[in-house]
Structure 1
Amino acid sequence: MSRPYVTAIVVAHDGARWLGETLRGLASQSRRPDRVAGVDHGSRDGSADLLAQTLGSGSLISLPRSTGFGEAVAQALEKLPPVPSPGGRDEWIWLLHDDCAPDRRALEALLTAAAHDPKAAVLGPKLRDWLDRRRLLELGVTVGRTGRRDTGLEPREFDQGQHDGTREVLSVSTAGMLIRRDVWEQVGGLDPFFPLFRDDLDLCWRVRNAGHKVLSVTSAVAWHAEAAARRRRRIAVSGDHPRRLDRRNAIFVVLANLPFWPMWWALLRNVVGSAFRTLLFVVSKQPANALDEVVAMGSVLAHPFRLVRARRARHHGRKKGYRRIKRLMTPRGAAYRRLTDMVQSFLAGQAPLDSAGRHHQQQQAAEDEYAVVPADTGAVKRFLSRPGVVLMLALTAVAAVAERSLLGGERLGGGALVPVTGGAADLWAFYTEGFHDVGLGSTDWAPPYVAVLAIASTLAFGKTWLAVSVLLLGSVPLAGATAYLATRHVIPAVPARAWAAGTYALLPVATGAVAAGRLGTAVVFVLVPAYASLTATLVSAERRRARRTAWALGLLLAVGTAFVPLVYPLYAVLGVLAAVAFRHAIVSMAIALAVPVALLFPWLAELATDPGRFLLEAGLNDPTLVDASPAPESLPALSPGGPGLPPFWVTAGLLVAALAALLMRRQRVIVAIGWGTALYGMLAAVLVSRVTVAGVRVWPGVPLAFAGAGLVVLVGLTAHRLSELRVGGGPRRLGAGVVVAVAFSTPLLAAGFWVVNGVRGPLVRDAPDVLPALAAARTTQGERTLVIKGSSFTVLHGRTPLLGESELPVASEARTRIGAAAQGLIGGRGGDAAALAESGIAMVAVAPPIPAGLARTLDSQPSLRRLSLSETGGGVWALTEPVTRVPAQPVSVLHTPWLLAQGALVLVMALLAAPGRRSPEEAEAPAPALAGA
């Protein structure tokens, strides 16, 4: 073959700091270009003079500052006519940026690869980083349907020859691109619509549609500074921000080159994806990035005819070429991986990841937001092999087997849990209404945990049973996950973290809460590790991050307090002590403690009128769920008493390991903090367990959760110090081995006991309906049913109560009047049927089993008429007195305004708590103080 003719074109724009090395690389080529032209568009730093001195003034073309790269190349080619091509001699165009320095054998390697493949029309070199000469930048680029670039490289991957070889790719960069001139003219060159960014992708896509190949030649090397993408120089070709311009061009290229139906699918994905990214940028307090995303997408949507014209110009070979291009595009699963990476980084308190699934490095702080790495086919495998994921899967399996008797039922309920009925819409209506037409009627504020459950039910597709099942039955694996994540900066050793998380998740508080249907304790148990982690961050982080952490901690405290009011005073004591010890954190801690009060104020004000209610939790207060006389060893063993609890020896290993930590000579501060928290929780548990509220002893589960968290973190942090006990041999060595064995046995024994015995408690999967079906069918709107069970009673309004409805306080006068009437009926004294009728009660139902003689007693009452009676369904009697409908009570004028204010407060506080872009100081911040104590 004839020796090919090469025309090299160097385009410069304010690139003097790199241009000298680029020109030296060009001059030192082992195979020199046949002619060279320099193009400068409005440089102000001497780039034009440098080009003229090196190439000669006759080889320099000066253009306006606003000229784009594609137009600059086109202007140069107009002044450089094609050379004659006798004997099949091809002319090639070699494009060089001013910040792209080629290796001395780069052109020779590109031409050699072109000679071996006659179909190759575009070839590109291996691009390495200008500053870190070992780091790979590109070996060809592909793209997804959303326009996200894909380089096929890991973040900051070094070149060790692992990708060497000439291969076919979708696109190569114009930095070092070698293209046949006849193909350039055939496809129309670079589109001037793209002054910067994605012009190379558009050109290569059209070249491939024309039936030619695009090759990446790794034997050719060039070093690229990516000055425009990294904003190392001012861009004058467009008024748009670089990120905004890049994003617009990315969307436009994909929509212009895809066939008709794939184009519509890509448009939908881009609109939805842009909306999601905009939301994530707003929440993470990056308004500039959010604006770029909106403007870029809007620029494409606002000019449909521009897109139509572009598609018409690219119609030739588009459908046929797409079959070949499709296999080179980013796999569809990569988009979901990027979405997962973005959300994970957001939840981890970092700025949302860019499209590469990586954070900007300090030296690349302004790098193009959309330079990405490819989907990793082994991502799922690596994800499933992570210790935290393995731990959660193991805990999920343990919980599923242990809770086998609770899965698959129609109505979860029993113990403290009201049978779960209704959906998200019912909970929202209950929480927002001013007058609650349930029971005897109430204008009190609905318990705030109803709003939390309404949100969870909404996320669970409106299914309250699903949300409650996840929170209650899934509390063990959820607690393990939060404990593992919360200790990532506190316990450095992964095995110790996994042990600590597994041990905490299987504490007796968790299994007891599940067995007794204590939804409130289950939710708080999941949140306690987060409280500890956020507190450690709050007292150790720099000011801006501490403030953000304070808002997040306050929101989680509000959630825990909504389910178990005791959480607030328990944490407040620890929070005040932490603020005193770390005086710089006083303001942040004050914010964290003020948020729950602000959000829950009306409800908390009602609790203040009856302080005993601070010791109760969400759900029914059944005296059978609490041990009247707990065993002396139960509280030290972190066992709160009640159904579903393991024996003492299950958690003995944790106590032994914690006691062994007292013998260590180092980490005294950690030991003091851990044991201090544990003793504080145990003391609080002793105190509250001796209190009786409304005839029911208080369950000390939440205080023991605090105590258990302190002991678990203590042992996890001091586990590697157990070797101190082995010094000297003999009994000390044996003792250290025993401590390790018993500590390791704690989660295994707890899991084994729970799996073997299952959930033994009042919680069942098919809870009977509190209201008999006949009573529900016979009552009309406004009528109520008095349900008697044993010595207690409740008033229902035509249906089983929703979660939270049974906890609405009832006026003592009305309850006393109804109680006296009910006792009169049960005692055969006739009762006050008129009092029942005046309260809207039309029926009396007796829950099974019916005590002996009670049915005859009720049958003898002239004011009652039996409707049904059975051993399994109980009995139903109708009142003969005419029922007086209970009118709706007046609602406070503050109710609706406060709900709106509460919603606004939640949104504002969530934005303040949301992670933003991390500063270099935050990225290099030390671990929380506890880890280095």
Structure 2
Amino acid sequence: MSRPYVTAIVVAHDGARWLGETLRALASQSRRPDRAVGVDNGSRDGSAGLLAETLGRGNVISLPRSTGFGESVAEVLAKLPPGGRDEWIWLLHDDCAPDRRALEALISAAQQDPKAAVLGPKLRDWLDRRRLLEIGVTVGRTGRRDTGLEPREFDQGQHDGTREVLSVSTAGMLIRRDVWEQVGGLDPFFPLFRDDLDLCWRVRNAGHKVLNVTFAVAWHAEAAARRRRRIAVSGDHPRRLDRRNALFVIMANLPFGAMLWALLRNVLGSAFRTLLFVLSKQPANALDEAVAMGSILAHPFRLLGARRARKHGRKKGYIRVRRLMTPRGAAYRRLTDMVQSFLAGEAPVDSAGRHHHTSPEDPAGYEAVPVDTGAVKRFISRPGVVLMLALTVVALIAERSLLGGERLGGGALVPVTGGAADLWAFYTEGSHDIGFGSNAWAPPYVAVLAALSTLAFGKTWLAVSVLLLGSVPLAGAAAYLATRHVIPAVPARAWAAGTYALLPVATGAIAAGRLGTAVVFVLVPVYASLGTTLLSAERRRARRAAWTLGLLLAVGTAFVPLVYPMFAVLGVLAAVAFGGVRPGVVTSTAIALLAPVALLFPWLAGLVADPGRILLEAGLHDPALADPGLAPESLLALSPGGPGLPPFWVTAGLLAAALAALLMRRQRMIVAIGWGVALYGVLAAILVSRITVEGARAWPGVPLAFAGIGLLVLVGLTAHRLSELRAGRGLRRLGATLVAGVAFSTPLLAAGHWMFTGVRGPLTGDAPDVLPALAAARTTQGERTLVIKGAEFTVLHGRMPLIGEPELPVASEARTRVSTATQGLVGGRGGDAVTLARLGIGMVAVAPPVTRELARTLDSQPSLERMSLSDAGGLWRLAEPVTRVPARPVRVLHKPWLWVQGALVLMMAVLAAPGRRPQESVEASGAVLVGA
């Protein structure tokens, strides 16, 4: 066999502390290389002098500090003529000292296997010479580097032998020069880290073998990976650079189908690892993980170019590479280990299997060291957090039919369309081009939804979904936090919060799409907590609570006007009862009651002119949503009637526990106040449920929410008496156990029944378009479309209505004329189309189902031309020319009042903020606004 020609290349960069031993090891090889060349990448510690002294100045090349390892080797090979047909390149880092017989063992293994093109030695630790670092490297589809070794595993010959591997390190790598040139060498995109993996992958795709020869040994300091020297080749952090390169190698070398699956897994896995890093108080590591994944997603063309350069042999080579990669399922096991290590108090590991913390004993940061995750574990294990998570799971299971739809709507909820900009425009414009035009004040809750939609990245559907579908867990969290100073016992507080969140008011509001009730249901416990704070002896605290209560009361009143008079009655009673005992109570109560009036004044003035509208709430007012014959026993069970309500026995346990509290002799004042609030809410619910407004019965959900909070606080405050009675004997213990069991049955039965039946009501996740697509496409500027559905009708302007628009008052004269004309069309009387045209209506749409008789009647009208007719509805165009209705005048005081309103909100938020320093006030006011 011919003697192979070996060219050794040593690359140095600020590695003088290791380079001397590396050069001595090179010079003492039993099989000496035929030529040796050194490269110095702008070292500032004397590395260039060591190279010149050992190899000779003519054999040393100087390059800039920013030159990568692959570029350095390519620069050397470009200047060196080939050494023959059988030339090998031996790559050495400045911190890698090979054993005396390392090169001899590598050459011997290469001669025994003609297909071997890349060979690497067994790497041991530079300091602990017995510790194994690498015997070849593989990788999983998540980019995680796997050496197959145990942590701190010593070399006892247990892995000896020559084996085929996926990759070997460039520290001591021996590669055939012709293969190097065939695959293009090291990719300059990888200045550091994972360049060896990418090279070996391409070599294997070309049909060659990669071997690890354990009889060749080298000691490696891993100075760059362990951050023992400054890296000048890249501006990225080493950990971030390593993770980015790992992901890039996987995406560039996998076949297309496997790459798509790996991309999805890595996106989800990176998000999960980022979350764990955040929870374990490692923001730098979380940033590295997020930026690394974002770098891949933000440069798709760079990835496409790399895949195009690697397309030759990739699919066939993957069959050979796949068996050497980390086995399937290992990533899931490691993910489990990662979570377990996090919960056990250890730092999560990175993609190379290394923990991210350093210590004086381990400056490289390789070993797992305890981290302060006790606060995180305590937070997760808190009863309030557990309750919130449990209610979220219950809500997701119960609302399964509403998730994943295209549009949430139905019942009282207008199908959600548009974004935050649309809502802001609707709220701030002085004249609304909807229906027949209106210059009335937009409902103030539109501003709240617009603000929340802005925080939700402009997604109105997201804000509405969180408020409505998430009202159960939000109400539970609000009740738990609001009662922390009222109910001292944590188990009783958790029970009260869970029971309140699952009251029939919540499930009924969700089923009927009552967004207003859902928002107020979350705020009622906060009202109760702030109301008790108003009675505090500390005047400063009571005054802050008054401003906060005023802001939140304005929010609740904007959604459900009935909130204000109900709370006003209780506030006035409290001010009268405690005015002489607690100085400042009257002033604080006045602030809380006058703040909503100041914020909602223009809109409230319209309610005063039409008092019946106080009983209505945000959304549509469908008579079918309320139960006209609501029985008194249903109201006693806190069931407001309508769709989506549980049977009586679900909440009977709460009523039984509250009745049992009447038998307790102690804490009679608490029992009296609790039952007083409950009876007040029930009587208000009875009164409200008997009143009809705009053809629909008012829904008593909000009064029953007041009643429910009264009963729950009553039972929660007397729960410790049950514990005392259970500690006794005889009938007392039996009765206390029975009452406790009955009480705990309420949230369990409510949750079980809701999950089993799901949301039963008109609310749907796939609300249909009110306006046909053809009508929206053919509508000209200023033209309106009359939409007929049964006996009802509406007039639209080329788009779906926004939330709040159907609630604007319509001129009675125009509505009467359209109603008469519509009845004439449906009834087959001629001449009515002229009236519609004069009102700006150019098309008539009929919502499904369209009966044959109605279609025949409309077709018979000479003034109508059919455009479409299907199961999705029908559409007819008027033959009469459309007369555009002139726009209504804009209100003069609209814009100035909006500025005044914004200034009032900011002032109240600052006054509600705790602390004396301005910075603290601003921060707290921001929190209040976000909460509102």
Query: TM-score normalised to the size of structure 1?
Result: 0.58
Alpha-carbon distance in 2 for matches of 1:841, 1:759 = 38
Alpha-carbon distance in 1 for matches of 2:281, 2:695 = 65
In the alignment, what sits opposite 2:473?
477
In the alignment, what sits opposite 1:911?
910
**Deviation of the 1:261 alpha carbon:** 12
**Deviation of the 1:544 alpha carbon:** 1.2
Identity, % of aligned pairs?
Answer: 80
Pick one of 502, 505, 512 that aligns with 2:501.
Answer: 505
In the alignment, what sits opposite 2:897?
898
Query: Is 1:855 paired with 2:851?
Result: no
Preserved contact between residue 521 and residue 563 of structure 1 (Cα < 8 Å):
yes
Structure 1 segment 345-494 matched on structure 2, within 5 A: 376-494=372-490
Evaluate the alpha carbon distance shift between residue 727 and residue 332 of structure 1 in structure 2; reply closer, same or farther with a 3 A threshold: closer
Query: Could you say what secondary structure the match of 1:603 adopts?
Result: helix
In the alignment, what sits opposite 1:92?
none
Query: Is 1:833 paired with 2:784?
Result: no
The one-letter code sitting in structure 1 at the alignment partner of 2:456 is A
Structure 1 segment 419-818 matched on structure 2, within 5 A: 419-583=415-579, 584=583, 585-723=585-723, 729-818=729-818
In the alignment, what sits opposite 1:318?
none
Evaluate the alpha carbon distance shift between residue 867 and residue 688 of structure 1 in structure 2; reply closer, same or farther with a 3 A threshold: same
**Deviation of the 1:331 alpha carbon:** 4.6
Cα-to-partner distance string for 1:517-565 (whole Å, 9 max, x where unaligned): 0000000000000000001111114111111110100000000000000
Aligned residues: 562
**Deviation of the 1:851 alpha carbon:** 3.8
Query: Is 1:881 paired with 2:880?
Result: yes
The one-letter code sitting in structure 2 at the alignment partner of 1:502 is G
Alpha-carbon distance in 1 for matches of 2:829, 2:876 = 16
**Deviation of the 1:380 alpha carbon:** 2.1
**Deviation of the 1:334 alpha carbon:** 10
Cα-to-partner distance string for 1:212-247 (whole Å, 9 max, x where unaligned): xxxxxxxxxxxxxxxxxxxxxxxxxxxxxxxxxxxx
Alpha-carbon distance in 2 for matches of 1:260, 1:805 = 60
The one-letter code sitting in structure 2 at the alignment partner of 1:800 is M
Alpha-carbon distance in 1 for matches of 2:516, 2:233 = 51
Preserved contact between residue 632 and residue 686 of structure 2 (Cα < 8 Å):
no
Alpha-carbon distance in 1 for matches of 2:482, 2:232 = 49
Preserved contact between residue 416 and residue 518 of structure 1 (Cα < 8 Å):
yes
In the alignment, what sits opposite 1:47?
none
**Deviation of the 1:910 alpha carbon:** 0.9
Preserved contact between residue 644 and residue 759 of structure 2 (Cα < 8 Å):
yes
The one-letter code sitting in structure 2 at the alignment partner of 1:818 is V
The one-letter code sitting in structure 2 at the alignment partner of 1:580 is V
The one-letter code sitting in structure 2 at the alignment partner of 1:561 is T
Alpha-carbon distance in 2 for matches of 1:762, 1:639 = 18
**Deviation of the 1:455 alpha carbon:** 0.4
Cα-to-partner distance string for 1:797-822 (whole Å, 9 max, x where unaligned): 10110000011110111111111111
Evaluate the alpha carbon distance shift between residue 649 and residue 335 of structure 1 in structure 2; reply closer, same or farther with a 3 A threshold: same
Alpha-carbon distance in 1 for matches of 2:896, 2:231 = 53
**Deviation of the 1:729 alpha carbon:** 5.0
Preserved contact between residue 410 and residue 765 of structure 1 (Cα < 8 Å):
yes
Higher RCO, 1 vs 2 (CA within 8 Å, ≥6 residues apart): 1
Evaluate the alpha carbon distance shift between residue 261 and residue 482 of structure 1 in structure 2; reply closer, same or farther with a 3 A threshold: farther
Alpha-carbon distance in 2 for matches of 1:465, 1:417 = 12
Evaluate the alpha carbon distance shift between residue 857 and residue 506 of structure 1 in structure 2; reply closer, same or farther with a 3 A threshold: same
Alpha-carbon distance in 2 for matches of 1:655, 1:754 = 19
Structure 1 segment 16-95 matched on structure 2, within 5 A: none
The one-letter code sitting in structure 1 at the alignment partner of 2:880 is E
Query: Is 1:332 paired with 2:283?
Result: yes
Cα-to-partner distance string for 1:5-41 (whole Å, 9 max, x where unaligned): xxxxxxxxxxxxxxxxxxxxxxxxxxxxxxxxxxxxx
**Deviation of the 1:728 alpha carbon:** 8.1
Query: Could you say what secondary structure the match of 2:845 adopts?
Result: strand
**Deviation of the 1:723 alpha carbon:** 4.7
Evaluate the alpha carbon distance shift between residue 628 and residue 260 of structure 1 in structure 2; reply closer, same or farther with a 3 A threshold: farther
**Deviation of the 1:862 alpha carbon:** 1.6
Query: Could you say what secondary structure the match of 2:662 adopts?
Result: helix
Preserved contact between residue 664 and residue 724 of structure 1 (Cα < 8 Å):
no
Alpha-carbon distance in 1 for matches of 2:662, 2:449 = 42
Alpha-carbon distance in 2 for matches of 1:260, 1:662 = 77
Query: Is 1:819 paired with 2:819?
Result: yes
Cα-to-partner distance string for 1:585-624 (whole Å, 9 max, x where unaligned): 0000000000100000000101111111110000001111
Query: TM-score normalised to the size of structure 2?
Result: 0.58
**Deviation of the 1:376 alpha carbon:** 3.0
Query: Could you say what secondary structure the match of 1:546 adopts?
Result: helix
Preserved contact between residue 542 and residue 588 of structure 2 (Cα < 8 Å):
yes
Cα-to-partner distance string for 1:697-750 (whole Å, 9 max, x where unaligned): 001000000000100111111111125656985444332221110001110100
Evaluate the alpha carbon distance shift between residue 825 and residue 400 of structure 1 in structure 2; reply closer, same or farther with a 3 A threshold: same
Alpha-carbon distance in 2 for matches of 1:502, 1:717 = 15
In the alignment, what sits opposite 1:208?
none
The one-letter code sitting in structure 2 at the alignment partner of 1:905 is L
Preserved contact between residue 555 and residue 909 of structure 1 (Cα < 8 Å):
yes
Preserved contact between residue 688 and residue 699 of structure 2 (Cα < 8 Å):
yes
Query: Could you say what secondary structure the match of 1:795 adopts?
Result: strand
The one-letter code sitting in structure 2 at the alignment partner of 1:825 is L
Evaluate the alpha carbon distance shift between residue 512 and residue 896 of structure 1 in structure 2; reply closer, same or farther with a 3 A threshold: same
Alpha-carbon distance in 2 for matches of 1:262, 1:744 = 61
Preserved contact between residue 431 and residue 891 of structure 2 (Cα < 8 Å):
no
Alpha-carbon distance in 1 for matches of 2:713, 2:650 = 18
The one-letter code sitting in structure 1 at the alignment partner of 2:891 is S
Evaluate the alpha carbon distance shift between residue 674 and residue 441 of structure 1 in structure 2; reply closer, same or farther with a 3 A threshold: same
Q: Give the unaligned 5+ runs of structure 1.
A: 1-257, 266-328, 337-373, 920-933
Alpha-carbon distance in 2 for matches of 1:733, 1:332 = 53
**Deviation of the 1:332 alpha carbon:** 3.3
Query: Could you say what secondary structure the match of 1:404 adopts?
Result: coil
Evaluate the alpha carbon distance shift between residue 776 and residue 533 of structure 1 in structure 2; reply closer, same or farther with a 3 A threshold: same
Alpha-carbon distance in 2 for matches of 1:497, 1:745 = 15
In the alignment, what sits opposite 1:16?
none
Alpha-carbon distance in 1 for matches of 2:490, 2:235 = 46
Query: Could you say what secondary structure the match of 2:619 adopts?
Result: coil
Preserved contact between residue 492 and residue 716 of structure 2 (Cα < 8 Å):
yes
Alpha-carbon distance in 2 for matches of 1:488, 1:334 = 36
Evaluate the alpha carbon distance shift between residue 333 and residue 637 of structure 1 in structure 2; reply closer, same or farther with a 3 A threshold: farther
Alpha-carbon distance in 1 for matches of 2:499, 2:548 = 26
The one-letter code sitting in structure 2 at the alignment partner of 1:432 is T
The one-letter code sitting in structure 1 at the alignment partner of 2:910 is L
